[in-house]
């Protein structure tokens, strides 16, 4: 499985954990809620869904049919196929939520992982945030070294673009520092709902997001 398809599978399972959806709804949520999927097609989504069904992590049902009735058992051109997470799919997604290795720190995967931090245990959130910060600090050091070596050969516009890139990375590092500080302190947490939060959060941990102090948060998917 390549990295791109793995990120998409993770996102689909996470969204369907909230509620069953048909393909159009899923595509819309992926486009609007998860920035990394702003530009992708049905031709990418449907093979992913079929693969998840084949693995037993999703089932296909026809909208309006009794629960548990597979789509193949009904006919009708206009019937909408609804995808629902199975118990095995939920277990698989919760296992994926525990992963905190280097893939979770990369640009494409981090934004998606962050979108599901509300369902992720605090210790895993900390490992992902610290790993992401470490990765960005390494990138920032390389950017500074490269800029110092090539500054004299760059025109004003290219130099300004390099500076802009560095400032973007520095801003995200500051944002990550705030998040890590808040996770450690366990402050500014949202109170869970009386039923849904307990049901949907495997760890029972509340969200540790800080109140932002000025400016706008960087988009983790950028």
pLDDT tens series, the chain, 222 aa: 455 668 889 999 999 999 999 988 988 888 877 665 665 666 788 899 999 999 999 999 987 555 555 555 545 455 689 999 999 999 999 999 999 989 899 887 898 899 999 999 999 999 999 999 999 999 999 999 998 888 888 888 999 999 999 999 999 999 999 999 999 988 545 444 434 444 444 444 545 555 454 444 565 545
Task: Give the pair of three-digit tokens for residue 141.
Answer: 């050091």
Dihedral over alpha carbons 164, 167, 172, 175 (to 10 degrees): -140
Looking at the whole model, is its pTM more than 0.85?
A: no
Sign of CA dihedral 23, 54, 113, 94: positive
Task: Give the pair of three-digit tokens for residue 19.
Answer: 């509620």
Task: Give the pair of three-digit tokens for residue 112.
Answer: 């998606």
């Amino acid at each position: 499985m390549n990295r791109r398809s793995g990120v998409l599978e993770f996102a689909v399972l996470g969204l369907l954990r909230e509620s069953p959806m048909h393909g159009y709804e899923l595509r819309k949520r992926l486009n609007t809620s998860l920035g990394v999927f702003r530009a992708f097609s049905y031709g990418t989504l449907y093979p992913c869904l079929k693969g998840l069904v084949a693995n037993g992590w999703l089932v296909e049902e026809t909208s309006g049919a009794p629960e548990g009735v597979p789509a193949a058992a009904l006919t009708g051109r206009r019937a909408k196929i609804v995808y629902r997470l199975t118990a095995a799919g939920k277990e698989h997604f919760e296992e994926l939520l525990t992963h905190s290795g280097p893939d979770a720190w990369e640009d494409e995967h981090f934004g998606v992982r962050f979108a599901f931090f509300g369902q992720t245990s605090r210790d895993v959130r900390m490992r992902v945030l610290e790993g992401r910060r470490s990765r960005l600090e390494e990138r920032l050091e390389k950017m500074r070294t490269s800029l110092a070596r090539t500054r004299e050969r760059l025109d004003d516009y290219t130099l300004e673009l390099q500076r802009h890139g560095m400032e973007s990375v520095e801003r995200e590092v500051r944002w990550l520092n705030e998040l890590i500080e808040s996770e450690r302190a366990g402050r500014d947490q949202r109170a869970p709902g009386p039923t849904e939060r307990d049901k949907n959060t495997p760890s029972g941990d509340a969200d540790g997001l800080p109140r932002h102090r000025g400016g706008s948060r960087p988009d983790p998917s950028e």
